[in-house]
Amino acid sequence: MLKDVTLFYSQFRDSFTTTGAIAPSSPLLGKAITHPLSQRPSRPVRVLEVGAGTGAFTRQILKHLRAGDQLDIYELNSRFCDYLRAHPPWQECALKGIFCRLHNADVRGVSTESRYDYIVCGLPFNNFEPEVVSEILSVLIERLSPEGVFSYFEYIFSHEFKSRFLKPSDRQRMIRVGAIVRAFIRKHQFGYRQVWLNLPPAKARYCRKAAQT
Ligand SMILES: C[S@@+](CC[C@H](N)C(=O)[O-])C[C@H]1O[C@@H](n2cnc3c(N)ncnc32)[C@H](O)[C@@H]1O
């Protein structure tokens, strides 16, 4: 759809820090990031999507949902929320008995009571302050159920590429973000998939609560 690409590009220019990408993710990245959900159990599951943008991952998530499942979507940007309400990928959910809610809010506000079997995250961590990355990763791993899977992606080479061309203060920020993300990966990651057909190419990472948490 041309509309979602145009909106995405306008938000890339107007809200660069939170949008963090020039175009919506490709269906192949959507498939890779929702791969754990394709192996879901037959019981009803709860899914949290973080940073839906124009719904590239939402459409892939919905392919795996069935009656009794629940999908909570957190999207900070009201322009993206307006777009999703106007073109809801979850249009047929009510008929199928799937409960979907869109929250126009920061994911750090997700209820402390909620636990999710799958968390699919599209946030551009490399654009954020280290404290924000740390806080969001803690919130998400905390909200994951004991057997749950948290998937997120990062652009291949983006960290190395960006840190070369940034001003020193931004380079320091990226180095600190890189350290936080690497420590998180060491503790929680159990797999990943590379997706070359995406702009830019990306790596979908799969994480779970560490044994000691
Ligand atoms: C890189 S885009 C990904 C969009 C979509 N998932 C895709 O892959 O095409 C990041 C999205 O995260 C949203 N976002 C950024 N910070 C957020 C936060 N703290 N809580 C919820 N959404 C956030 C942005 O508004 C944007 O829509």
Structure tokens at 131: 């404290």
Say if ligand 1 is within 6 A of residue 75 CB.
yes
User: Tell me, what's the pLDDT at 112?
Assistant: 93
Q: 50 pLDDT exceeds 70?
A: yes
- In this prediction, residue 181 carries a pLDDT of 97
Q: Whose alpha carbon is nearest atom 17 of ligand 1?
A: 76
Residue with tokens 């890339």: 12
Closest CA to 90 of 116, 64, 118, 109: 64
Question: Count of H helices and E strands in the chain?
Answer: 10, 7
What mean pLDDT comes out for the span 6-24? 93
Q: Is 89 in the pocket of ligand 1 (CB under 6 A)?
A: no
Burial 176-196 (b: 16+ CB within 10 A, else e): ebbebbeebeeebeeeebebe
Question: At residue 36, does pLDDT exceed 90?
Answer: yes
Residue 102 CB less than 6 A away from ligand 1: no
pTM of the predicted model, to two decimals?
0.95
Ligand 1 centre to CA of 75 (Å) is 6
Q: What average pLDDT score do residues 60-64 get?
A: 98
Name residue, tokens 């993206």. Answer: 80
**Class for the domain spanning 2-207:** alpha beta
Q: Are the beta carbons of 156 and 200 closer than 8 angstroms?
A: yes
Locate the domains of the chain by residue range.
Answer: 2-207
Contact 40, 64 (CB under 8 A): yes
Task: Supply φ then ψ for residue 145, to 5 degrees.
Answer: -70, 160
In a 3-state reduction of DSSP, which class is residue 148?
strand
- For ligand 1, whether the C-beta of 202 sits within 6 Å is no
Does an H or E element contain 96, and which?
Answer: helix 93-96
Which burial class, exposed, middle or buried, applies to 27 when counting CB atoms under 10 A from its CB (0-12, 13-18, 19+)? Answer: middle
Residue 33 CA to residue 153 CA, distance in Å, equals 7
pLDDT at 2: 86
DSSP state of 208: -
**Band of residue 168 on the pLDDT scale cut at 50, 70, 90:** confident
Q: What is the pLDDT of residues 70-124, one digit of tens each?
A: 999 999 999 999 999 999 999 999 999 999 999 999 999 999 999 999 999 999 9
Which of ligand 1's atoms lies nearest the C-alpha of 29? Answer: 8
Please tell me whether the peptide bond between 36 and the residue prior to it is cis, using omega within 30 degrees of 0: no
* 1 has a pLDDT exceeding 80: no
CB of 4 within 6 A of ligand 1: the answer is no
Task: Kindly indicate the confidence band of residue 163, based on its pLDDT and cuts at 50, 70 and 90.
Answer: low
Q: Model confidence at 213, in pLDDT bands (50, 70, 90)?
A: very low
Centre of ligand 1 to C-alpha 182, Å, is 21
Largest CA distance in the chain: 53
Percent of the chain beyond pLDDT 70? 96
Whether residue 198 is predicted with pLDDT greater than 70 in this model: the reply is: yes
- With a 6 A CB cut-off, is 163 part of the ligand 1 pocket? no
Ligand 1 geometric centre to CA of 74 (Å): 8
pLDDT per residue as tens digits for the range 110-160: 999 999 999 999 999 999 999 999 999 999 999 999 999 999 999 997 766
Distance, in Å, from the CA atom of 147 to the CA atom of 118, rounded to the nearest integer, reads: 9
